[in-house]
Structure 1
Amino acid sequence: MGAITDYFRATTDAAIVTVLERADGTPLVGGPHPAFDGVEAKGVDPDVVLGQLIAAVRGVGWRVGLTESSPAWPTTPPPGPDGPFDLDDDLWATGPWVLRLGRSVRDTLADLPAADVPAVAARWAAGSEELAHADAEDLHPLIEALSALAHRAHSADEDLYCLVCP
């Protein structure tokens, strides 16, 4: 089973932390009253699968770090390589995690012309083992939704984020 990944836009990391620390059940994305404007994209992890989409849009090869993601949540520093991890109570071990994506990712998606979506979908599907089960045409709505979200984020001078839940 894949991770739940939702992409959304927000003004600052602090705005996200406020919602997550409230712990009142308000979803960041989805549901009847989400905290943020977003897109549900189950299994589209930010570093590999979204990175492959960005590579497909730009017409370059995928590489580690292409999405320039950095942690926004949890706010505590991650444990060192030797832990300590409290597997029952450490957000770094249990999640959820929120990653801020680089502005170049937002701008790449925001600038994607609608006419290019079919070709991008074909390149994305062909260049991703993780999407081997997907038909390129089935990817069109997700690409269009992510592009529209990125466009709204760019227009509002906001960043794109990814919520990852195990």
Structure 2
Amino acid sequence: MGVLYDYFRASDDEAVAKLMAATDGGPMVREGVSPVVDAVDGKAVDPPVVLGKVVSFALGVPWAAELIGERLVWPDGAGKDLEYEGPWVVVLSEHARNALAEIPDDRLPSLAERWSHIEELSYYSDTQPEVMLSRLREFVELARRACTSGENIYCWICL
């Protein structure tokens, strides 16, 4: 079994805590059911590496693990328990949210093409450039909606 990632937008960490209580810890995207919030199924897109690489491509900077700047927001203490398998939620930095939101539409195809060839996605069968373009559009649109509404982007993660 792999790791699950759902990206969603929320006003703040307190709203995320309430959402986690209301959903019994997630997930945000459920098969055959409308998402409980404005969310994107992240599939194999972890925040620091896979999402971080497309953000680095968009910004024209070398990839670095801290580029996304995620911070654990839920549950309290999960980062201290090495046996904890989730779920947990991290918030992406405003810088990462803005970088995604500001990608011009005309750059999306070339970024998706490059993104589809990263090593971390080579183990998956659904990473053709056209599939990654659709996924990148979902991330960019989520980031744009988050920016417009003054919200953050969060990632729900579970092993």
Deviations 1:103-147 (A, max 9, x none): 011111111111101111122223x21122522222000000110
* Amino acid aligned to 2:59: R
TM-score (norm 2): 0.87
Identity %: 36
Which of residues 126, 145, 148 in structure 2 aligns to 1:155? 148
CA pair 114-26 structure 1, distance change in 2 beyond 3 A: same
Q: Counterparts of 1:30-109 in structure 2 under 5 Å?
A: 30=30, 32-76=33-77, 78-79=79-80, 87=83, 93-109=84-100
Contiguous gaps of at least 5 residues in structure 1: 88-92
* Aligned position for 2:120: 130
Compare CA radii of gyration and give the structure with the larger one. Answer: 1
Deviates more, 1:44-53 or 1:69-78: 69-78
The number of residues matched between the two structures is 155
The question of whether the paired residues in 2 share the 8 Å contact of 1:19 and 1:28 is answered with no
Letter in 2 for 1:12: D
State the 1:27 CA deviation: 4.4
In 2, distance between residues paired with 1:53 and 1:152? 19
Does the Cα contact within 8 Å between 2:72 and 2:79 map onto a contact in 1?
no
Query: Separation in 2 of the partners of 1:106 and 1:75?
Result: 23
CA contact (8 A) 1:2 1:42 kept: no
Question: Counterpart of 2:21 in structure 1: which amino acid?
Answer: E
Distance 2:116 2:22 in 1: 39
Cα distance between partner residues in 1 of 2:35 and 2:25? 10
Which residue of 1 is the match for residue 101 of structure 2? 110
Using the size of structure 1 for normalisation, the TM-score is 0.84
Which stretches in structure 2 are left out of the alignment for 5+ residues?
A: none
Q: Which amino acid aligns with 2:17?
A: V
Rounded Cα–Cα distance in structure 2 between residues aligned with 1:137 and 1:25: 32
